[in-house]
Amino acid sequence: MRGRTKWIGCGAIVVVLGLGAAGAWRYEEHVRRQPNWQIHHTAVPEAAKKVDHVLAQFERDHLYQAGDYLHSAGQHPDVQVLSVAGQTHWQSGVTLVLKVQGHGVVRGFDHVVLREVDVPICFRLQMGPKEDSRDDDIDCPAGAPLPVPKDPSLQGVDERLQRALNPVGANEAAVRAAVAGLKLDPGIHQDFAAQDGTVGVALRASQYDCVVARVAARGDVTLWRPSHTQLAPGELDCSAGLALSGEFNTSPH
């Protein structure tokens, strides 16, 4: 009787192990046979959201020239510009082809992530001349992306600039030395001016990334970031003269 029980127990173990092995084999086959379309299928909407941000920036900055579209699109993470055709929005129209990294995911029967990888998804944007349109998930053309220099950034500079300027007072040479001591990105444009015992400073990283400071005395330093609207073409200039003008530290109308 004990021998029979022992064999039954062993048989049950063999059956369980067999079922487990079969399940593992099916699971492995499921992973192995997952076609690339699932990776691609999940990557497309994720990449499309990044293109939404590109287009929103175009509209926010009121762009219309091909070179501006190229520069703006190339500033976005995970976005490369493969080609640009045309000159202006309202005349020839401008066509851009973008390669965007989308995050693709393969999930198993139990929705557990089995594999995830970034894959390139391409988009065609037609800006004008009559209306704007886009084509998602087009075949990516061959060729290297166009070179687009990345703009420097003034992120995190405000507090450092305030601390550097507080002890120097309204002395242009001392202000220049204090700013030089920050060792900012060489791509950041620096402008200085003095008038009536006040020193103005302007730091500009890009069209809409600007910090302006007014130094009236030791400990009397005012920093201001003009708004996106105020820095639009034809509006305020990011300059030291702005720091010394009546428009300094004003709200947009």
User: pLDDT digit string (tens) for 67-105?
Assistant: 999 999 999 999 999 999 999 999 999 999 999 999 988
pLDDT of 26 over the 60 cut: no
24-32 mean pLDDT:
46
**228 in a domain, yes or no?**
yes
pLDDT band at 114 (very low <50, low <70, confident <90, very high): confident
Q: Around Cβ 143, how many Cβ atoms within 10 Å?
A: 10
Classified as helix, coil or strand, 46 is helix
pLDDT in the model for residue 8: 44
4-8 mean pLDDT:
47
The 3 state secondary structure assigned to 145-165 is CCCCCCCCCCCCHHHHHHHHH
**144 in a domain, yes or no?**
no
- Strand 133-138, strand 113-127: pairing: antiparallel
- Please state the pTM of the whole predicted model: 0.76
**249 in a domain, yes or no?**
no
pLDDT in the model for residue 24: 42
Number of structural domains in the chain: 2
Rounded distance between C-alpha atoms, residue 103 and residue 101, angstroms: 7
**126 in a domain, yes or no?**
yes
Same domain, 113 and 197: no
pLDDT of 2 over the 60 cut: no
Full residue range of the structural domain in which residue 123 is found: 33-138
Same domain, 126 and 211: no
